[in-house]
């Protein structure tokens, strides 16, 4: 199992330059620890997660690193022109000397994104999957003609072509249509921090029922902090978890205005944003607890890569946590 870092470019101190520099420092430090991957999340229209232009950020990271694989987690394809995305991806794969990995998703429970990008949430998954089908053709073929419901092109060839053929590609979804799509193309799958273990197991089983001989791979992101004691780990991580829980429940309430029980918007066997649920699904605690949590995930999901999302607001504490993981957790799982 490979280890990666999950990057959200949090603006804890209301200082854009500092937020970007601290995230780059985390990625560069992860590379010195021989972490294999760093993935950047796409977020829009808030002053806390400063990663709306993830391919630009990945290009910056490509220039600041040399060995770590760089991934998009995920490009929200329903909000982008797929021809331009294909051009940017191919260029970025060349800039990084073949270190790019591509993750795509439909957009998540963020109402402002759908509003400002003029995309109906009910159409976003279909639109994203169609866009990915076109991107895939454009990256590796010439004179591409495509006639879809949302996208069309006539004899288009993008330049440059990527170094990798193919670029490792992942779909971040547990939806049956998305799983079927991933299995058809032998793309990998991604799971986010709020996704329950039971949901993830069902997603993998569905994929395998369609494509038992494919190049199926599974990447999982989890909130993370390891400390000497359980109490210290919770002290460092809880402010982030609490803030994330409140924000996501508020977003979900807007997306589901007719839900009568706003505090329990999601099934705990599927996805949920309650604070205690998020803590129980995270890798937060002392060394022994974190080892057990990771071993459980590894054994039940056959993970290709585990992405750690450091949860302290302090850069120094996050660096110390990653070092402790490398010295006391990683070699024992």
Contacts of residues 260-267 at CB distance under 8 Å and 24 or more positions apart, as own/partner, are: 266/194, 267/196
* pLDDT tens, position by position, 44-97: 999 999 999 999 999 999 999 999 999 999 999 999 999 999 999 999 999 999
Sites in the chain below the pLDDT cut of 50: 260-264
Please give the pLDDT value at position 323: 98
Q: What's the rounded Cα separation, in Å, for the pair 146 and 155?
A: 8
Task: Give 201's contacts (C-beta < 8 A, 6+ positions apart).
Answer: 300, 301
Contacts of residues 178-182 at CB distance under 8 Å and 24 or more positions apart, as own/partner, are: 178/106, 178/125, 178/129, 179/203, 179/206, 179/207, 179/210, 180/206, 180/210, 181/129, 181/132, 181/133, 182/207
Please give the pLDDT value at position 322: 98
Please give the pLDDT value at position 215: 56
* pLDDT tens, position by position, 127-168: 999 999 999 999 999 999 999 999 999 999 999 999 999 999
Please give the pLDDT value at position 267: 64
Could you tell me which of 182, 218, 180 has the C-alpha nearest to residue 297? 218
Please give the pLDDT value at position 266: 56
- What is the DSSP track for 165-220? SSPPEEEE---HHHHHHHHHHT-EEEE-TTB-HHHHHHHHHHHHHH-TTS---EEE
Could you tell me which of 120, 116, 102 has the C-alpha nearest to residue 46? 116
Task: Return the half-sphere exposure (C-beta side, CA atoms, 13 A cut-off) of residue 116.
Answer: 10
CATH code that applies to domain 2-332: 3.20.20.30
Q: What residues does each domain of the chain span?
A: 2-332
The CA angle 204-51-227, to the nearest 5 degrees, is 70
Please give the pLDDT value at position 249: 85
Q: What's the rounded Cα separation, in Å, for the pair 41 and 6?
A: 8
């Amino acid at each position: 199992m490979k280890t990666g870092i999950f990057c959200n470019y949090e603006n804890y101190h209301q200082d854009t330059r500092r937020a970007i520099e601290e995230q780059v420092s985390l990625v560069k430090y992860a590379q010195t620890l021989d972490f294999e991957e760093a993935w950047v999340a796409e977020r829009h229209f808030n002053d806390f997660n400063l990663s709306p232009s993830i391919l630009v950020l990945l290009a910056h990271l490509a220039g600041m690193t040399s060995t770590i694989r760089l991934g998009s987690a995920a490009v929200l394809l329903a909000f982008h022109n797929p021809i331009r995305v294909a051009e940017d991806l191919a260029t970025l794969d060349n800039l990084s000397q073949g270190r790019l990995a591509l993750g795509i998703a439909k957009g998540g429970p963020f109402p402002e994104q759908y509003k400002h990008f003029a995309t109906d949430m009910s159409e976003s998954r279909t639109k994203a999957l169609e866009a990915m089908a076109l991107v895939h053709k454009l990256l590796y073929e010439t004179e591409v003609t495509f006639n879809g419901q949302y996208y069309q092109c006539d004899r288009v060839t993008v330049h440059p072509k990527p170094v990798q053929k193919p670029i490792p590609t992942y779909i971040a979804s547990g939806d049956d249509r998305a799983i079927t799509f991933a299995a058809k193309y032998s793309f990998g799958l991604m799971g986010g921090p709020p996704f329950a273990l039971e949901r993830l197991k069902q997603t993998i089983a569905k994929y395998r029922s369609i494509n038992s001989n494919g190049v199926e791979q599974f990447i999982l992101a989890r909130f993370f902090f390891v400390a000497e004691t359980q109490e210290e780990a919770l002290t460092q991580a809880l402010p982030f978890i609490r803030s994330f829980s409140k924000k996501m429940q508020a977003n979900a309430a807007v997306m589901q205005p007719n839900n009568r029980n706003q505090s329990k918007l999601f099934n705990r066997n599927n996805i949920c944003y309650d604070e205690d649920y998020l803590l129980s699904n995270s890798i937060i605690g002392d060394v022994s607890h974190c080892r057990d949590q990771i071993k459980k995930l590894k054994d039940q999901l056959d993970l290709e890569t585990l992405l750690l999302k450091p949860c302290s607001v302090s850069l120094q504490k996050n660096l110390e946590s990653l070092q402790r993981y490398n010295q006391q957790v990683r070699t024992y799982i």
